Amino acid sequence: MNIAVVGTGYVGLVTGACFSEFGNHVVCVDNDAEKIATLKRGEMPIYEPGLDALVERNVKAGRLMFTTDLTGAVERALVVFIAVGTPQGNDGRADLSFVHEVARAVAESLNAYKVVVTKSTVPAGTGTTIREIIGKNLKEPHAFSVASNPEFLREGSAIEDFLRPNRVVIGCEDETAAAIMKDLYRPLYLIETPVVVTDVVTAEVIKYASNAFLATKISFINEMADLCEKVGADVHDVARGMGLDQRIGRKFLHPGPGYGGSCFPKDTRAILELARDHDVPLKIVSAVIDVNAGRIATSLAKIKAALGGSFTGKTVGLLGLTFKPNTDDLRESPAMAILDGLVGQGAKVQAYDPIAMPIASQTARENVRYCDDEYQAVTGADALVVATEWNQFRALDVERVRGVMKAAVIVDLRNVYEPDAMRAKGFAYSCVGRS
Ligand code: NAD
């Protein structure tokens, strides 16, 4: 099948590469000429484990191409995916300007029947708007279908998530589009992936509801962590004891500095605003957002307490800057908010991240030194703060760390170390939800 994917970011590039791996002919389109030039040189514009090999293999096989020419790509495709960003607008609602722009451009390029599929995360009703935009902007009368196929991949394990998803959600309004979309995902039937076929608006709601629920689990366990600290309980055991109940599940019950990244923060706000527009108060989602917003202050207070009650004249070695490990994505990263909070309150920061240093250091920040490795970051520091749980931080040479630090203080915001072991090694150690 010939496919065009418009928007070659984290989702579009992975989607395009994986569909080409299924044997389809895929053209990935982006209006960022530099990004397309990078891809044409065989370099990856983002960090995602395994992506470079997947792209290289399919480009060599002639199944995957990159272009800025939307018209050419759309003309040859039967299915056109819209995978552009839907960032948070100033009013908290999803900014759909990129999606609408692409819908207009697709309409103007329509030369035969096509299925236009939204992969971007969009509010309920966007499919209807896309249908209207395409209908109004067609240059020639052609039939088309609008579909929704929300993406659930996680950065850091995006390829595995795409190739082995828990489920595929397809929202369609007609049998033709449903048949084409099912055909596209046929390779996943072999591994018995459940396919949920709904109408378009239901598929749109499934995506937001899923992200809101996952964010709820995170805010919930963070509040339990606060309670555990006060009553002397261990939040890890609480999470395990809860999570083994299959009605609850073990995933997303890890306490820390709150959720971040390019999805949960904007998607929880967008569903809240969407519901408000329809006079539906989403009290739980509202509380989830409030709890999450408070995590940065809670984390900074924990670091301040570990430093003896003041940031003045103190140096913090900050390990991890991305919102989670195995990505270079700094969007809405709690680690970056903590970094800004530390310098804003008078501390100096020596920061290190295994992947994101080139991106982070593009922004010069006063009193922030970007370091070459974790040991340089903690040299002369009054405290080591783990902000992102990269694997390499789990196996630090703690003797070496203690030897180079000014004071043996660790604030483990991701609970990667064993409290007793760290204290036995002479560190003043604090973490989240474990006394
Ligand atoms: P991104 O910012 O990485 O990529 C978007 C791309 O679209 C950019 O390369 C941009 O240049 C391009 N673009 C914008 N306007 C364009 C236009 N008119 N023509 C061609 N290209 C255009 O975004 P992303 O993280 O890949 O997210 C895309 C969508 O997928 C969002 O709606 C997001 O919420 C959703 N999503 C993201 C993830 C994730 O983990 N990143 C997971 C699931 C869903």
Residue positions counted in the chain: 435
Instruction: Give the residue from 151, 174, 198 where a domain finishes.
Output: 198
Same domain (yes/no): 181, 57: yes
Same domain (yes/no): 182, 328: no
- What is the mean predicted confidence (pLDDT) over 200-220? 98
The amino acid occupying position 222 is N
Distance CA 180, CA 1 (A): 9
In this predicted structure, what is the pLDDT of residue 341? 97
Average pLDDT, the chain: 97
Q: Which of 48, 69, 84, 93 to mutate to test the pocket of ligand 1 (most atoms within 8 A of CB)?
A: 84
Distance CA 327, CA 354 (A): 10
- The number of the ligand 1 atom at minimal distance from the alpha carbon of 155 is 40
Quick one: how many helices (H) and strands (E) in the chain?
19, 14
Instruction: Tell me, yes or no, whether 43 lies in a domain.
Output: yes
- What is the mean predicted confidence (pLDDT) over 157-180? 97
In this predicted structure, what is the pLDDT of residue 81? 98
Instruction: Tell me, yes or no, whether 209 lies in a domain.
Output: no
In this predicted structure, what is the pLDDT of residue 93? 95
Same domain (yes/no): 62, 167: yes
Model pLDDT for residues 372-422, shown as the tens digit of each residue: 999 999 999 999 999 999 999 999 999 999 999 999 999 999 999 999 999
Instruction: Tell me, yes or no, whether 56 lies in a domain.
Output: yes
Instruction: Tell me, yes or no, whether 82 lies in a domain.
Output: yes
Instruction: Tell me, yes or no, whether 245 lies in a domain.
Output: no
pTM: 0.96
For strands 348-352 and 315-319, give the pairing: parallel
pLDDT > 80? residue 435: no
In this predicted structure, what is the pLDDT of residue 85? 97
In this predicted structure, what is the pLDDT of residue 379? 98
pLDDT > 90? residue 371: yes
Q: Indicate which CATH number applies to the domain containing 343.
A: 3.40.50.720
Instruction: Tell me, yes or no, whether 356 lies in a domain.
Output: yes
Residue 151 beta carbon below 6 angstroms from any ligand 1 atom: yes
In this predicted structure, what is the pLDDT of residue 332? 96
> Residue 407: which domain range?
294-430
pLDDT > 80? residue 61: yes
- The number of the ligand 1 atom at minimal distance from the alpha carbon of 120 is 32
Q: Which residue has the tokens 């996943």?
A: 188
Distance CA 373, CA 274 (A): 44
The domain tally of the chain equals 2
Q: Which residue has the tokens 């964010």?
A: 215
Instruction: Tell me, yes or no, whether 390 lies in a domain.
Output: yes
In this predicted structure, what is the pLDDT of residue 363? 86
Instruction: Give the residue from 140, 174, 198 where a domain finishes.
Output: 198
pLDDT > 90? residue 190: no
Same domain (yes/no): 192, 299: no
Same domain (yes/no): 173, 301: no
pLDDT > 80? residue 259: yes
The DSSP call for residue 89 is P
Same domain (yes/no): 328, 191: no
**What are the phi and psi torsion angles at 285 (to 5°)?**
-60, -40
If you measure from the C-alpha of residue 119 to the centroid of ligand 1, how many angstroms do you get, rounded to a whole number? 9
Residue 101 beta carbon below 6 angstroms from any ligand 1 atom: yes
Place 364 in a pLDDT band, splitting at 50, 70 and 90. Answer: confident
Instruction: Give the residue from 198, 233, 265 where a domain finishes.
Output: 198
In this predicted structure, what is the pLDDT of residue 153? 96
User: What sign results for the dihedral spanned by CA atoms 118, 120, 125, 129?
Assistant: negative
- What is the mean predicted confidence (pLDDT) over 340-349? 97
Place 193 in a pLDDT band, splitting at 50, 70 and 90. Answer: very high
Q: Using an 8 Å Cβ cutoff, are 197 and 208 in contact?
A: no
Instruction: Tell me, yes or no, whether 207 lies in a domain.
Output: no
Model pLDDT for residues 230-250, shown as the tens digit of each residue: 999 999 999 999 999 999 999
Same domain (yes/no): 187, 304: no
